[in-house]
Structure 1
Amino acid sequence: MEHKKVLSQYQREEGYNIQLNKELEKISEENRLMLKNHERLEHKNTELLQQYNDLQHKYNKKVENYKELDRNYMALVRPLQVTKDDPSTIYNRLVQITVSIEHLIQRAKGDRSVNLRREAVFENFQGYGLFQVFPEEALLDPYHLNLYMESVIMTILFYRLFARPLGCIFEQSKEFEGIRKWVNERDPKMATRWRQQICVLVAQDVDTMAHKREEEVRAAAESLSHVISTIYPNVDMSVKIKELCYNTFDLSLAMFGMESMIYPVPIRLGIPFDNENMTTPQKSNPEGLVSLVIFPAFQDDSKNFYYKPKVWCY
């Protein structure tokens, strides 16, 4: 009986061991499959990570390309700003030039025009044609001649600087203006942007720009100094003259670089005085004809900007 009992116990344990082995084999197989699946997933994860990195690289590249396109686009469409000026600051700077010329003559003439050489005015400027509608010589007092000298100064500034803003800074200005005129007839907006781009490029060449500025200011100042020292021989106005020329040079470039270019407009002599569109100093006849243009008008291409000319009527 004891033997049978032991045998039965052994058989039960053996069956249990067999069952355990089967369970272990099943678990081992599951582990093997799980490990294989893990390896597959890990490989897949590596592939996905590589794909992600590739896509991230492509995305970053596209972002950079977009930024470059955006920069290029903005460079083409945004308004170019040659200087920090706008129409209001241009107007104020024109006022400053006008006042500077007045103060220059006031200081040069001295008290009661003691420094004024009356005969020198007629000797040097009779051939200019500016006296053609001015009163006869005998009727002119120092006030008129000093007023006339303001006009002479502005005339020199006009031809030296205001009338040739690009010529002052760009050696190929004549060729450029010819091409710009051709472009403007076909695409005014492109011509405007091209003009501004030239100004920006020239302004960025700091050394050349500084050299041209000094060169043009020196030439204009020498012309003004010669005239003023001839008419007002007992005073040295060289510092004020050079300051005036610097301001005029800078203003001329600023006006030329505006999106709607601002430029001087000559006023014909002999036309009736226009109270709405002209200004006049004292001792001028508002019912008379324009006999002297002291300061020309300034306007822009779009006709939204207008600086009234200063004239004297007789």
Structure 2
Amino acid sequence: MSALDKNQQDQLMQDQQYDQQKRQSTSDNIDYTMENTSINNKNDSQQQQEEDVNMNGIITTTSVSSPTHSSFSRKSESSHSSHTTTSTTNNNKRPQQNDHDYRQRMTYSESDQELYIRSLSESLMIHKEIVERIEYEKEQYMEMVERERKLEREAAKATTMALEEQQREYERLQLTYQHVLNEMEKRKQEYQRMESNYYSHVRQIRATDDDLSTIQSEISHLFSQVGNLCMGLRSKADREAGTAFIMERWADKQETIRDQLLKEGEETLDTGYIGLFIEKYIVEVILDSLLRKPLQPGVSINDAYQQVEEWFFKRNPEWATRLRQQASALVAKQPEDEEESIAQAKQKIVQSVLETIGRVCPKIKGDLNQEKKVSNIIHRAAKLNLAIKGQELPVETKPIEEGVIDFDGDCMKAASKGKAEGTVLLVITPAFAATDPNDAEHGFLVPAKVLCV
């Protein structure tokens, strides 16, 4: 029961106690009034009896005296008539006075009775009103309690119905969820089977097991290895020979190099810049002799395959892609008589690089350690070439026009001797990108390494 119901019950009990006390007081007043009325009535009765006795005595006395004095009265009737009248009048004065007092007392007694009766009636009316008010308040309270109980029952019924409905909905959703789980499990198993078949099929086509993520990582590691090699060659570089090699190989940039990289009053480049140009040279060799070859250096059908691929690509790009994948897979897995020519071609590239570096750094000539480093780079680039050609998406370099394009942090990173702003003077390593026209998230971008001034 709520706090409001308790307060109403307490108020009702207080009203009942108050009414009971008032009824008790009224009852006591009524008893007191009745007792006084009884006493007054008794006194009036006694007084009335006394008056009656007195009146009887007077009457008796008169009756007895009349015979004794009858003759005298008769004889003296005429002469004493006035005296008799006077005597009679005097004898009747007392009864008349008593009667007046009696009537006055009776009047007082009747007034008291009327007052008592009126007081009693008023008390009864008050008691009746109190009882009626209590009954009315009780009925109102009971109606209110009944309404509240009815509302509570309706709310409980509605809550129960809602709970049952939610339970039924929960059970339905649970069954649906279980059905979806079973369906997902079936589809997952089917997807795994299809994926296994797909990778099995792709492995038969691709030259290596690499995908775009491993190719992206391999490109970064390869050119990082080239940068480390050239970093170590700076201390061994001949500034005059290095400057001469640079001016000879990039003759179209001689004026820019002299204006931007040579210090005032000097004719030779700093070894730091010479190291960057050596790195640029090795990257260009990797691009031209390996990554941009139709298949692989040393393969006898490179030129013929280039013509066939172009012919396929004009008519059906998807078939051209499949042809590229299958040809690369054959070169990687079944080179047969082409294997020796491929190895000779790679070794030729290594010797060419060592010879050029030897012109700039005479101290490394005959250094087997340096030869091993260059050989590892070339063989790693050749493997990367087969992995790239085995992908469905082409992996291409993004063109950056030197001396025109400004530095872009989204697709470029600054070389150690340059700054991350201004115009791009040299592209040391180009940006590599693989883009899927149907899915923007499927692909990658390896930023270019540039020298800005």
Same fold per superposition (TM over 0.5) = yes
- What secondary structure does 1:138 align onto? coil
Which residue of 211, 215, 238 maps to 1:90? 215
Residues 1:172 and 2:301 aligned together: yes
Deviations 1:61-97 (A, max 9, x none): xxxxxxxxxxxxx89x943322010111111111111
Give the number of the structure with larger relative contact order, counting CA–CA contacts within 8 Å between residues 6 or more apart: 1
Shift in Å, 1:151: 0.7
> Equivalences for 1:81-160 in 2 at 5 Å?
81-109=206-234, 113=235, 115-129=236-250, 130-131=253-254, 133-134=256-257, 135-138=260-263, 140-160=269-289
8 Å Cα contact 1:116-1:232 kept in structure 2: yes
Higher normalized helix content (fraction of residues): 2
Rounded Cα–Cα distance in structure 2 between residues aligned with 1:188 and 1:144: 43
Rounded Cα–Cα distance in structure 2 between residues aligned with 1:132 and 1:158: 26
Shift in Å, 1:278: 0.9
Which piece of structure 1 moves more, 94-103 or 283-292? 283-292
Letter of the aligned partner of 1:184 in structure 2? F
Letter of the aligned partner of 2:422 in structure 1? G
Shift in Å, 1:266: 4.0
Which residue of 166, 178, 203 maps to 2:332? 203
Shift in Å, 1:302: 3.0
Residues 1:252 and 2:385 aligned together: yes
Rounded Cα–Cα distance in structure 2 between residues aligned with 1:137 and 1:313: 14
Partner of 1:307: 446
CA RMSD of aligned residues (A): 2.3
Partner of 1:274: 408
Residues 1:261 and 2:390 aligned together: no
> Equivalences for 1:65-76 in 2 at 5 Å?
none
Letter of the aligned partner of 2:346 in structure 1? V
Rounded Cα–Cα distance in structure 2 between residues aligned with 1:208 and 1:233: 37
Rounded Cα–Cα distance in structure 2 between residues aligned with 1:250 and 1:212: 16
Rounded Cα–Cα distance in structure 2 between residues aligned with 1:160 and 1:180: 19
Shift in Å, 1:204: 2.8
Which piece of structure 1 moves more, 189-198 or 119-128? 119-128
Which piece of structure 1 moves more, 300-309 or 158-167? 300-309
Shift in Å, 1:209: 4.8
Shift in Å, 1:150: 0.9
Rounded Cα–Cα distance in structure 2 between residues aligned with 1:87 and 1:193: 17
What 5-or-longer segments of structure 2 have no aligned partner? 1-196, 438-442
Shift in Å, 1:136: 4.1
Partner of 2:148: none
8 Å Cα contact 1:85-1:254 kept in structure 2: yes
8 Å Cα contact 1:82-1:199 kept in structure 2: yes
Rounded Cα–Cα distance in structure 2 between residues aligned with 1:108 and 1:156: 17
Rounded Cα–Cα distance in structure 2 between residues aligned with 1:171 and 1:186: 25
Deviations 1:180-236 (A, max 9, x none): 222222221111111111112222324335323311211110111011111111132
Partner of 1:189: 318
8 Å Cα contact 1:81-1:257 kept in structure 2: yes
Letter of the aligned partner of 2:297 in structure 1? C
8 Å Cα contact 1:154-1:295 kept in structure 2: yes
The change in CA–CA distance for 1:137 and 1:153 in structure 2 (over 3 A counts) is same
Letter of the aligned partner of 1:144 in structure 2? Y
Deviations 1:249-297 (A, max 9, x none): 1111211121112133442211111111111123323331111111112
Shift in Å, 1:132: 5.1
Partner of 1:37: none
Which piece of structure 1 moves more, 234-243 or 130-139? 130-139
- TM-score normalised per structure 1: 0.69
- What secondary structure does 2:409 align onto? coil
In the alignment of these two chains, the number of paired residues is 236
- What secondary structure does 2:337 align onto? helix
Partner of 1:55: none
Letter of the aligned partner of 1:302 in structure 2? D
- TM-score normalised per structure 2: 0.49
Rounded Cα–Cα distance in structure 1 between residues aligned with 2:435 and 2:248: 33
The change in CA–CA distance for 1:161 and 1:238 in structure 2 (over 3 A counts) is same
Residues 1:242 and 2:388 aligned together: no
Shift in Å, 1:157: 1.8
Q: Percent identity?
A: 26
Shift in Å, 1:146: 1.1
Rounded Cα–Cα distance in structure 1 between residues aligned with 2:310 and 2:434: 16
Partner of 1:298: 432
Deviations 1:112-139 (A, max 9, x none): x2x2111112222313225453324336
8 Å Cα contact 1:163-1:264 kept in structure 2: no
Rg larger for: 2
Letter of the aligned partner of 2:414 in structure 1? T
Rounded Cα–Cα distance in structure 2 between residues aligned with 1:155 and 1:161: 10
